[in-house]
Every structure is written in structure tokens, then in C-alpha cells.
Amino acid sequence: MRVKVCGMTRLDQIHRLEELGVEFAGLIFYPKSPRFIKKFHLSAIDVKREKLRINTVGVFVNESLEEILRIVDKWRLSMVQLHGDESPKFCEQVSNHVTTIKAFRVGEGDNLEWKIYPYNEFVDMYMFDNGWVGNASAEKAAVYGGTGHQFNWQSLDNVNTRKPFFLSGGINPTDGAKVKVFAEQQKNFFAVDINSRFEIAPGVKDMELVKTFLDEIK
């Protein structure tokens, strides 16, 4: 099973992901994120010098095309993940230059096929994440980059995504068996995305938790 570990900020931990056989490392370029890469010591020079084998995925939220492409080139990113309100046309412009993942925040009762339909021709992959805070009786507020909580994965059971997709949103270290069952049932499942539930502090992963999770699902 393919795995993406997002919110990476330390070169030594990225190298450890490579040793563990993780396929994707997410680098967040959203200034409001606690894992915003520029808050830490990891630099584009570090990443380029190391000639990493792992696929680096740049995460952006409503960023300009010019800035995305500048960062893709500067950091030599393998892929881009668009986690904001980017239009299909904007996604097409990005995907003309780099493999593009469009993330969607899944809310209760969403018509996902209708939601993703306009993007089918313009992106390479999808990501489904929990983007709502509060409860059913409270006013819902969209949260860019996820909430650290899970959505109802059964929402995807009858959805023809047409594209490979990442499953994200509050995946826990103890969710390995649950993820394996889900992956077996979803023909377009591509990878699982883990982040905050595997951290000691924002941007600093507990690598033993990551390893234990990988041992269970791979």
C-alpha cells in the first residue's frame, strides 16, 4: 500500500521515510498552517542537494499559479496538492506543468460525484479529507488542510471517482486494519495520507508510530 506522510519539516525524518519505503512526503506551503515549511529550518537547497528518492508533494491553498510554479521549480517538487478553492481551470493550468492532486473536504451528505465532476479532465488524482468542524447541529466551517478528524469513509462506497485518490483526514496509528479493508473495497484507492496523529509536535513526526503503522498495512 502506498503511503504519504504530510507536514514534513525535517530532512532526517524524510530520509527515515525513504528507509521505511514511504512513497510520498508532503511539504506544506500554506502560511497559516502550523507545519508551514518556512517556519522550520528545512530549505530548498537542502532538498535539492540530497537528491531524495521519495516523491515530494507541495501542498498549497489558494496560491497563485506563478508562486506554485516558482516553488515547484525551486524545490524540485514531484507533485502538487491543491487544498483550497481552486477552480477546474486553475487546476488545469497547474497540471500542465506538474502532476496535480485536488483535495476535497468531505461533509456529511455531500454529493461527491457532482463535486468532483468538473475536475475530472483537469487533475491527475484526488484527495478526500475531513474539512468540517463542529457537529451536525452546529454551523459548519470549512478548514483548509483538514481538521485531524475522520469523515465517514462510507461516503465513498458508491462514488465513481474516475481518478486514483488519497484517503486522508485524522488517520490514527491504530487504523491500519481499517485502512486495509477500505483499500480492498475501493478500486480507485491509491494511497493513504497520514499527518497530525503521528506527531510529537507540529511538523515533528513520531517515527516509531509511523513504522508501526507501516508494518501493519504493507
Averaged pLDDT, 19-24: 98
Closest to 96 in 3D by CA, of 133, 118, 122, 134: 122
Closest to 179 in 3D by CA, of 126, 215, 136, 139: 215
Closest to 97 in 3D by CA, of 58, 128, 69: 69
Averaged pLDDT, 35-47: 94
Model-level pTM?
Answer: 0.92
The tally of CA atoms less than 13 A away on the side-chain side of residue 139 is 1
- C-alpha distances (whole Å) from 203 to each of 15, 34, 52, 94, 152 are 15, 8, 19, 26, 26
Task: Give the pLDDT band of residue 130 (cuts 50, 70, 90).
Answer: confident
Task: Give the pLDDT band of residue 149 (cuts 50, 70, 90).
Answer: confident
Closest to 192 in 3D by CA, of 218, 217, 166: 166
Q: Is the pLDDT of residue 1 over 50?
A: yes
Using the 8-state DSSP alphabet, how is residue 9 labeled?
Answer: -
Q: Which of 64-68, 121-125, 142-146 has the lowest mean pLDDT?
A: 142-146
Residues 12/208/153/160 CA torsion (nearest 10 deg): 50
